[in-house]
Structure 1
Amino acid sequence: MFIIWTIICLVGMFGLISGALMFWSSPLIPIKNNTHNPLPLLSIIIPARNEEGRIEALLQSLKQQSFQRFELFVVDDGSTDRTDSVAKRYGATVLQNEKVVHMGSGKSHACWTGAKQAKGKWLLFLDADTQFVHETSLETLLLSYLDHGAEGVFSVQPYHKIKQVYENFSAVFNMIVMIGMNIFTPWREKFPAAGAFGPCILCDRENYFHAGGHEKAKTAIMDDFALAKVFRENQFPIFCYGGKGIISFRMYPEGWKQLIEGWAKNFATASKSTHGIVMLFINLWICGGFALIGGLIISFLEPNLVVIVISLFFYLLYTGQTAFLARKTGNFYIWVFPLFPFLLLFFTGVFVYSLYLTKIVRTVTWKGRNIKV
């Protein structure tokens, strides 16, 4: 039994090392003052389907921004609620999405519809559940894009703000979303970005239409990955940043059903774009967490004070590491992380369910639509 426990502890150690390497850094957008020439006209495009309860926070945050030289489009993607009237109340131009074919989520069509009406030099695509944190956040985002040469895709993963206990079960998913982009390891310069962060994408209008934009991603479930791919094929760079302090969102506030449905619809598909080495780190980290649970159980089956202390030490290390990594992506409750085995079990279960939907059923459901994969 001691040999088994030793092997388990070694697996746990490799898991801890992998956890450190897979999320070595999480670049944030630096806050700066505008020392450049006036920024160009911006077109903000918000695809929205039944977002009456969420979009107002975003529109209110836009109204408070120090940078106001933008036109605002909300593309109504077949909503059955009051999304359009809320958008009009904040001065947005509301467009109706083009007819959605049997493939794709509708979001790509909505983005393309908005882009074709846009007059701005730069295009900013925002999910309806996002919102800017400070009055200078939009200007900071634009200045950072300018510092990167104002070309290609500049994408930001919003910081996840949660309000209900069940939302903590998104913690591991948020970590993997960022880690899976390949660029947060010590070797970020060697691994190409797997895609872009869909909730906040900024690009040059000319680059966008030259590459084909969302028209090339119209059948994709993961529109952000598909868009990044067409930009990359046209030799445009892809930039990915964490949004803490700039932009936030609240995901799946309607409850468990929406949370599971939302993560299951695209997670297995997205994993195909993650670099093999990064995927190895992720798998080792997850296996290490499960292994340490086994090691802790074994230590109590054959009581030995030294073994129990070492097992508890590793368990607490994993707890601390999980909390540290997860809170780079959202304000998850600290007290849930000693229960990290349940977070890992939930993540694994939803991932397996996602594989079932995408590989066997070949259909996923989102916002009342059955989407063929």
Structure 2
Amino acid sequence: MLSFEQVSTIISQAIPFFSGIILLILLINLFILLLNLATFVRLRSQDVADDNDQVPLVSVLIPARNEEANIEACIRSLLQQQYGNLEIIVLDDQSSDQTAAIVKHLITKLPDQQSPILRLIQGKPLPEDWIGKNFACQQLAKQAGGKYILFTDADTIHQPGMVRAMIQHMQKLQVQLLSAQPEQIQRSLGEQLIVPLLNFTILTLLPIPLIRLRREPSLATGNGQLLCFERSAYQAIGGHSTVKGKILEDVLLARTMKAAGYRMAYADAFELTQCRMYHSFAEVWSGFSKNLFAFYNYSLPFALVALVLNLLLFVVPPFLLLACAVHGSSAGTILPVLTITLLPLIMRMLLALRFTRSNKGWVVILGLLHPISIILECVILLNSIRWHYRKSGAVWKGRYYPA
């Protein structure tokens, strides 16, 4: 039987090796993040309005289900766009609240020259094999007349130059799909701990420049809050019917576009669009539980490997550092452990500084709680897996989503 001294020696020898492997992975993550922060194109607002004879028609499409708290602000922001050739179509997706009434009221209050811009259509009953939002978007696209179709969510608010910047960027890059990342508004502690992990995951794992430069479908991502297609390309891939039963339709549509040979780009719309996806930890729990296992394509081995890696990379190092301090390890042992503990915190803080408009100090402080965020994400992933295998599903905006 090994003595305490022998066990301590083995642990002391294993820690540098373990730390070295984690350090290598984290340095790769840091390199990808720094590359993305340096090259992530920030779309900017323009003050000059477009002549409607000089620009293509853009159809802005908004699926709306039980959005009475958000829909008016969203539509008003779109009506103020500095773009001269625009139509806005809202689909009331079987809402049980005042969503449709609010849109109708806005239409009646519009000046004569603006009234043709805004339309409301009633959504059809949801077929069994469709996800609600996907069916709503497919119906909207059939009503659109624009050369470009821009899907956005009802809980978004847009600056006047948003549409103009999106179309100009698409034309400049000659892409058929542009998706962009809005500013994510987070007010409750639950939101502030969990929602930034979306940015953290994408920007530390996926080199954003390769989305445009490479044609592999795996090098694609999308954000349904801002998803702009050339309509001809959208129709050529079958639109939302190709992902009709999929929860992560935005990412899968982006991959489908690339697989069909079309080009896409991903941009930073921090200055153009704001969105608050969730309003409490309970909503974060439900929303992430609905989506997280789907992110891993419902592959249990893939999801569990990702869970273990997240724990090893972001949760174990602080505890390992504490153990080294208590054990009185040498500086040569503590230094690599300290490095792998600090690197994720530095990455989280860099993201907080880039993608936060106010209260930067508080958000940076929250970055120190990154291990807690990861633990919560892992628990949510386990819950998402549980929902899937127990077929319990999720209820979101009054509609049941089977797992």
With the length of structure 1 as denominator, give the TM-score of the two structures: 0.85
| Identical-residue share of aligned pairs (%) | 22
Is 1:6 aligned to residue 16 of structure 2?
yes
Which protein has the bigger helix share? Answer: 2
After superposition, the Cα gap between the structure-2 partners of 1:181 and 1:364, relative to the gap in structure 1 and judged at 3 Å, is: farther
After superposition, the Cα gap between the structure-2 partners of 1:42 and 1:189, relative to the gap in structure 1 and judged at 3 Å, is: closer
After superposition, the Cα gap between the structure-2 partners of 1:351 and 1:169, relative to the gap in structure 1 and judged at 3 Å, is: same
Q: Which runs of 5+ in 1 are unaligned?
A: none
Cα pair 2:212 2:264 within 8 Å, conserved: no
Cα pair 1:47 1:75 within 8 Å, conserved: yes
Aligned residue in 2 for 1:87: 103
Q: Per-residue deviation at 1:38? A: 2.0
After superposition, the Cα gap between the structure-2 partners of 1:356 and 1:309, relative to the gap in structure 1 and judged at 3 Å, is: same
Question: Given residue 369 of structure 2, which amino acid in structure 1 is its aligned partner?
Answer: L
Classify the secondary structure of the residue corresponding to 1:158. Answer: strand
Alpha-carbon separation, structure 2, partners of 1:5 and 1:215: 51
Cα pair 1:40 1:121 within 8 Å, conserved: yes
Q: Could you tell me which of 180, 202, 208 is aligned with 1:178?
A: 202
Q: Provide the aligned length of Structure 1 versus Structure 2.
A: 367
RMSD, matched Cα:
3.3
After superposition, the Cα gap between the structure-2 partners of 1:320 and 1:292, relative to the gap in structure 1 and judged at 3 Å, is: same
Deviations 1:254-273 (A, max 9, x none): x2221111112122222349
Q: In the TM superposition, what are the counterparts of 1:95-174 in structure 2 within 5 Å?
A: 95-132=121-158, 134-149=159-174, 151-174=175-198
Aligned residue in 1 for 2:246: 220
Classify the secondary structure of the residue corresponding to 1:131. Answer: strand
Deviations 1:299-358 (A, max 9, x none): 232235846676555533432222213555556711111121101101111122222333
Q: In the TM superposition, what are the counterparts of 1:1-373 in structure 2 within 5 Å?
A: 1=8, 2-23=12-33, 24-26=35-37, 27-31=40-44, 38-91=54-107, 92-132=118-158, 134-149=159-174, 151-175=175-199, 178-179=202-203, 182-184=206-208, 189-190=213-214, 191-192=216-217, 193-253=219-279, 255-272=280-297, 287-303=312-328, 306=331, 311-312=337-338, 314-329=340-355, 333-361=363-391, 363-373=393-403
**Deviates further, 81-90 or 112-121:** 81-90
Alpha-carbon separation, structure 1, partners of 2:256 and 2:370: 38
Alpha-carbon separation, structure 1, partners of 2:211 and 2:230: 28
Cα pair 1:61 1:135 within 8 Å, conserved: yes
After superposition, the Cα gap between the structure-2 partners of 1:104 and 1:330, relative to the gap in structure 1 and judged at 3 Å, is: farther
Alpha-carbon separation, structure 1, partners of 2:298 and 2:147: 30
Cα pair 1:9 1:291 within 8 Å, conserved: no
Alpha-carbon separation, structure 2, partners of 1:315 and 1:261: 30
Classify the secondary structure of the residue corresponding to 1:239. Answer: strand
After superposition, the Cα gap between the structure-2 partners of 1:177 and 1:90, relative to the gap in structure 1 and judged at 3 Å, is: farther
Q: Per-residue deviation at 1:143? A: 0.6
Q: Which runs of 5+ in 2 are unaligned?
A: 1-7, 108-117
With the length of structure 2 as denominator, give the TM-score of the two structures: 0.79
Greater Cα radius of gyration, structure 1 or 2: 2
Alpha-carbon separation, structure 2, partners of 1:329 and 1:264: 24
